[in-house]
């Protein structure tokens, strides 16, 4: 590991976990990422290795078979994995959010039912809030859960499910008529069980196929069609309807830390590739790293990497204390995504024409890093969240 993006105050256990993941990334992910990404092939061997390392149960309490680690530990692990191949971090991200939702909001019966199998990776989680016409306006959710004699019937179309096919448990936000005047109290999160794969994966649940993307390949992104899907009231997250919006926003908050960590990983790798190439390529009789323009670019890239890593770590630590951190998570996500794009583009510029070739890793990073700008809310949405919260804190 280089001197950048180091984290003070970690325990010996955290240090050991990060060293293990770093070595796994070096040995098992980076050497195959290019070929798998270009083929848009699911990284099954890598995922199986992460299962063996206990990554799927990293934050799940020991009493449910997990490692019981903090959000900070998880974020630093994600940063390392994204440095190797961002898509792999996506494989565990939505799984982590569902496990987090269960830990924070699930009933004891739901925790006992799902968390031990999630810790081993046997049950894989996915997170479903978005819809084709939804965007960032969660109040416009149209997927409807209607009460029946023996539970609920869910009908609607969900969009942008990471791990939509490989998952077997999906946390789905639905509109329910609970009699409240507030639209936000008329939403409920359901725990929908299904089989892995495409097509009809459960009664009334269809995963049509993979959505073709410019980057973020390997991991599948899908739609989910629900047509009169019958589900019992026991599958309401937490057992009480009408709390779905607030549960999902809690999940999105930790998701923003996750995206910030992924952006940090991409920025670190972009810097590594750029500074290495700058010492290999020679022009006018010297390595291009000795040209002032390139040297300044390297200094700015490193400063941005250090800045966003520090902000991401602070947001994760705040969440671990249970303190309010909507501003910190929004700031970390916004700046990390923007700076990661700038660092990767600077590395691309250092590579010159070779950066445009698929033979070079930086070409893949250029496509992957764009997702950071929109995942878990755009920078504009983050600014709205940050601004509104600060106005409350500094109200005259």
pLDDT digits 0-9 by tens, 45-64: 999 999 999 999 999 999 99
Residue 1 has pLDDT above 70, yes or no: no
Residues 6+ apart with CB under 8 A from 108: none
What is the spatial distance between Cα 100 and Cα 59, in angstroms, rounded to a whole number? 8
> Among 80-94, 98-112, 167-181, 204-218, whose mean pLDDT is lowest?
167-181
pLDDT at 377 > cutoff 70: yes
Q: 364: Cβ–Cβ under 8 A, 6 or more apart, which residues?
A: 33, 34, 37, 38, 215, 358
C-alpha dihedral, 203 to 184 to 235 to 63, nearest 10°: 130
Q: Using an 8 Å Cβ cutoff, are 30 and 85 in contact?
A: yes
Task: Specify the pLDDT at position 171.
Answer: 98
pLDDT value at residue 182: 86
Please compute the mean of the pLDDT values over residues 18-31 and round it to a whole number. 97
The string of pLDDT tens digits covering residues 62-72 is: 999 999 999 99
What confidence score (pLDDT) does residue 188 get? 96
- The pLDDT confidence band at residue 138, using thresholds 50, 70 and 90, is confident
* Average pLDDT score, the chain: 95
Residue 222: beta bridge partners? 161, 210
Query: Rounded to two decimals, what is the model's pTM?
Result: 0.95
The alpha carbon of residue 144 and the mean position of all alpha carbons in its chain are separated, in whole angstroms, by 26
131 is catalytic: no
pLDDT value at 178 more than 80 = no
Catalytic entry in 80, 253, 361, 376: 376
pLDDT given for residue 25 in this prediction: 98
Cα end-to-end span (Å), the chain: 47
pLDDT one-digit tens code per residue, 279-312: 999 999 999 999 999 999 999 999 999 999 999 9
92 and 255 Cβ atoms separated by less than 8 Å: no
What is the arithmetic mean of pLDDT over 90-118?
96
Is 199 a residue whose pLDDT tops 80? Answer: yes
What is the predicted pLDDT for the residue at 177?
Answer: 81
CA distance 9 to 197: 42
The whole-number average pLDDT for the span 228-240 is 97
| Angle ∠(7,325,390) on CA atoms, nearest 5 | 125
Q: Round to whole Å and give the CA distance between 336 and 331.
A: 8
Instruction: Look at residue 211 in the predicted model and tell me its pLDDT.
Output: 95
């Amino acid at each position: 590991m280089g001197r950048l993006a180091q984290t003070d105050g970690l325990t010996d256990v955290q240090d050991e976990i990060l060293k293990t993941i770093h070595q796994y990334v070096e040995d098992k992910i980076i050497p195959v990422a290019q070929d798998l990404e270009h083929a848009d092939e699911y990284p099954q061997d890598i995922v199986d290795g992460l299962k063996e390392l206990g990554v799927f149960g990293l934050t799940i309490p020991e009493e449910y078979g997990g490692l019981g680690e903090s959000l900070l530990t998880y974020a630093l692990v994600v940063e390392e994995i994204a440095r190797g191949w961002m898509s792999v971090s996506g494989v565990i991200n939505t799984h982590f959010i569902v496990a987090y939702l269960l830990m924070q909001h699930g009933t004891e019966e739901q925790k006992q039912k799902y968390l031990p199998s999630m810790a081993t990776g046997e049950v894989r989680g996915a997170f479903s809030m978005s819809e084709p016409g939804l965007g960032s306006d969660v109040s416009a959710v149209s997927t409807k859960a209607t009460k029946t004699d023996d539970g609920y019937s869910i009908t609607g179309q969900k969009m942008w499910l990471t791990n939509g096919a490989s998952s077997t448990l999906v946390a789905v936000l639905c509109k329910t008529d609970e009699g409240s005047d507030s639209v936000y109290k008329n939403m409920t999160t359901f725990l929908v069980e299904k089989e892995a794969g495409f097509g009809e994966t459960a009664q009334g649940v269809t995963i049509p196929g993979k959505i073709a993307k410019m980057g973020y390949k390997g991991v599948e992104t899908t739609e989910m069609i629900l047509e009169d899907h019958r589900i019992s009231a026991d599958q309401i997250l937490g057992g009480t309807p009408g709390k779905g919006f607030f549960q999902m926003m809690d999940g999105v908050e930790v998701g923003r830390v996750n995206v910030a960590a992924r952006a940090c990983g991409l920025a670190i790798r972009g810097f590594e590739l750029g500074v290495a190439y700058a010492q290999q390529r020679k022009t006018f009789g010297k390595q291009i790293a000795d040209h002032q323009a390139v040297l300044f670019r390297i200094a700015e890239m490193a400063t941005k990497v250090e800045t966003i890593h520090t902000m991401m770590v602070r947001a994760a630590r705040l969440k671990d204390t249970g303190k309010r951190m909507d501003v910190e998570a929004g700031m970390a996500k916004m700046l990390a995504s923007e700076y990661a794009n700038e660092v990767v583009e600077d590395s691309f510029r250092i590579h010159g024409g070779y950066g445009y070739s698929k033979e070079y890793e930086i070409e893949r990073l250029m496509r992957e890093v764009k997702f950071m700008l929109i995942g878990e809310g755009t920078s504009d949405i983050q600014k709205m969240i940050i601004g509104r919260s600060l106005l409350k804190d500094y109200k005259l």
